[in-house]
A and B are shown apart, each in its own frame.
Chain A
Amino acid sequence: MSDAAASPAPRGSVTVARRATRARVLVALSPVVALAVTLAIGSLFVLAIGEHPLEIWGLMARQALGTGYGLGQTLFKATPLVYTGLAVALAFRAGLFNIGVEGQLYLGGFAAALAGVACAGLPAWLALPLSLAAAAAAGLVWGGVPGVLKARFGSHEVINSIMLNFVAMALASFLGRPHFEPATVRTADIAAGAQLARLDVLIPALRGSPANLALPLGLLLAAAVGALLFQSRLGFELRAVGLNPAAAEYGGIRVGRTQALAMALSGAIAGLGGANFVNGYKHYFELGFSAGAGYLGIAVALIGRSTPLGVVLAALFFGALSYGGLVVNQRVPKELVEMLQGLVILVAIGAQQVMERLARRLG
């Protein structure tokens, strides 16, 4: 602790500013603290089954980041998390909790596949945008419903979006049945024109990995979300509603409309995330494909502190963790990683509270 905090020195403006900076740094550091604590707890589990934690983490890092193929796998696993993390972050900024990202992602993938199959014979410049637009539209509707219900009836977006996650699962199964290949739960392959190319076409080092153009698309989207949030009028209104709805209303912002719009946009982003699997990897929709990537988006947004750059970095971290878990599966059950993905959420929100309290005490 430095002298500025310890001594009752003159409360000049310089000192106050320095204290404020320190408080902000402390809070900004909380995701790092959270990751460290989570890995420490994970280490205890690794120790408990008789393995060496540092060796396991090292092996995971080397395999997930150190080889071209491993890096490609990491990027592939990170891709949907970029989308779902951005979706959650955008809603967070508007003071809304979009816990329905899983369902929006799922139906986005479903719509991308149905549109992609229907585009047979169309050129890529038409087929791909159509398929992606279908994904975004499905997510937009699925995210927009709880947004509108909140704006119109004041019903809690969290409960409604949880309910819609389950409805989405049943709906895709119901609507999909006529489209599924015989004796399977997958659609036919989408048109060649609607497929996203693998990244190893451009970067030979990633050879064999399923990373695809959905990733650079997601990075562009991150930049766009950043511009929307911090450089546009809508973004300003959105953040104003998130910080203080009453003040925003007083300032002339239509709170309900902004909330509904934020949820719809969030849903559209999540829906687009379905492209990674459907347009970029398997080229079909399959029941259950989302496999929790939506829920994990919440962890990504928390660790990324709801900033676009933070979300991208957190998505890469979780992508590496997911692939790393598969690599060490022979020595440590890969289920350890699933456990840590849940744990990190608890630790992250706990750490943020602790750091904020610490910052208040120092400030």
Chain B
Amino acid sequence: MEVLLFAAAALRISVPYAFAAVGATFSERGGVINIALEGIMLNAALAYVLAASALPNPWLALAAAVAAGVATAALHALVTVSLKADQITSGLGINLLSAGLTRFVLRQVFQSSSNSPRVVGLPEWHVPGLGDLAGIGPLLGTPLFLAVLAAVPLAQWTLFRSVFGLRLRTLGERPEAAATVGLGVARLRTAGVLLSGAFAGLAGAWLASEQHSFTDQMTGGRGYIAIAAMIVGRWTPAGAAAACLLFGAAEALQIALQGSAFPAELLQMLPYLVTMLVLAGFIGRSIAPRAIGVPYDPEST
């Protein structure tokens, strides 16, 4: 019982991380670092709430969130792929821009500097038989949870078994080789970034739908945790999802220990410290795609 509730809490926390981290592998395997996840999720969460407060159907709100995610990612692609500017700087700029933009819209539309009114969340289904299990039952009837369960193997297959995935990974390792065999480097990289935006859009929708509202800075650094999970998961969807579960469990534990003498901050630091250890090679070794972060410029090769 206790175990089921804890597992459900950990899984719930992991869902937005997993969406964003799994999506990020498409951007990064194609050679584009995407630290804009935080801003993408934030914009998507706001888009969900704006749409849900205006339209009768939460599924349309979900679509709006994904669209906002893709649009924000398109800005990242414009700056980094088309204009070939620095990817990290662009991601950071998008995060700051999105923090300001969402606050601006919150003030203009909802006349509040902190939160939106309550909106409808996505529906939950009752699964016969398992639906009555404590914690886990309702989760099994949550559409976005089922979606993320399906997305992880699908993304893993796409990245490592499909033609699109093979091409994308070539871009992240040797873009000049990809260009030589006639692949459109800019177009494919953009596709990877946009896909990442769609996934992070789902993460934003999850947050808004779960909370039934938008609050200022509601992503709270989750985009960066997703990046960390993707690195710990060695730039693979399955590995990223596993790392998200680990981070989600640490966070659930932190909540469970609230009020006890155990300092919550130590658990808070865990994802970041684990990531640093992995990067330094103390726990396995995570190696980035070779051409990551480097704009592809045919004139310079």
Residues of A within 8 A of B (CB): 45, 49, 97, 99, 149, 152-153, 155-156, 158-160, 162-164, 166-167, 170-171, 173-174, 292, 295-296, 298-299, 302, 333, 335-346, 349-350, 352-354
Contacts and interface: CB of A to CB of B under 8 A. Distances in A.
Contacts of B265: 170-171, 173-174
24 contacts: A45-B104, A97-B86, A149-B280, A155-B276, A155-B279, A155-B281, A156-B288, A158-B88, A159-B279, A163-B224, A167-B272, A170-B265, A170-B269, A174-B263, A298-B89, A335-B106, A338-B100, A339-B97, A341-B96, A343-B97, A344-B93, A345-B90, A349-B90, A354-B83
Of listed B89, B103, B231, residue having the most chain A CB within 10 A = B89
A170 B263 CA distance: 10
Contacts, number: 133
Of listed A152, A160, A171, A346, residue having the most chain B CB within 10 A = A346
B79 interface: yes
A71 B145 CA distance: 53
B98 A350 contact: no
Nearest to A354: B83
B104 A333 contact: yes
Nearest to A49: B108
Contacts of A153: 279-281
Interface residues of B, number: 44
Interface in B82-116: 83-86, 88-90, 92-101, 103-104, 106-108, 113
Nearest to A345: B93
A174 B269 CA distance: 11
Interface in B261-279: 263, 265-266, 268-269, 272-273, 275-276, 279
Interface of B: 35, 75, 79, 83-86, 88-90, 92-101, 103-104, 106-108, 113, 221, 224, 227-228, 231, 263, 265-266, 268-269, 272-273, 275-276, 279-281, 288
9 smallest CB-CB distances across A and B, nearest first, come from A342-B96, A339-B100, A342-B97, A345-B93, A338-B100, A174-B265, A163-B272, A349-B85, A335-B103
Nearest to B225: A166
Contacts of B79: 346, 349-350
A123 B83 CA distance: 56
A292 B96 CA distance: 9
Contacts of A338: 96, 99-100, 103-104
A149 B275 CA distance: 13
Contacts of A341: 96, 100
B98 A342 contact: yes
A172 B231 CA distance: 26
Given A171-B265, A296-B96, 15 more contacts: A99-B88, A153-B281, A159-B227, A163-B272, A166-B269, A166-B272, A298-B92, A339-B104, A342-B95, A342-B97, A342-B100, A343-B97, A346-B75, A349-B79, A350-B79
Contacts of B104: 45, 333, 335-336, 338-339
Contacts of A345: 89-90, 92-93, 96-97
A120 B253 CA distance: 40
Contact of A160 (B85, B93, B227, B279): B279
Contacts of A354: 83
A343 B75 CA distance: 11
Nearest to A177: B263
Of listed A49, A173, A174, A345, residue having the most chain B CB within 10 A = A345
Nearest to A166: B272
A280 B260 CA distance: 37
Contacts of A45: 104
Contacts of A295: 92, 96
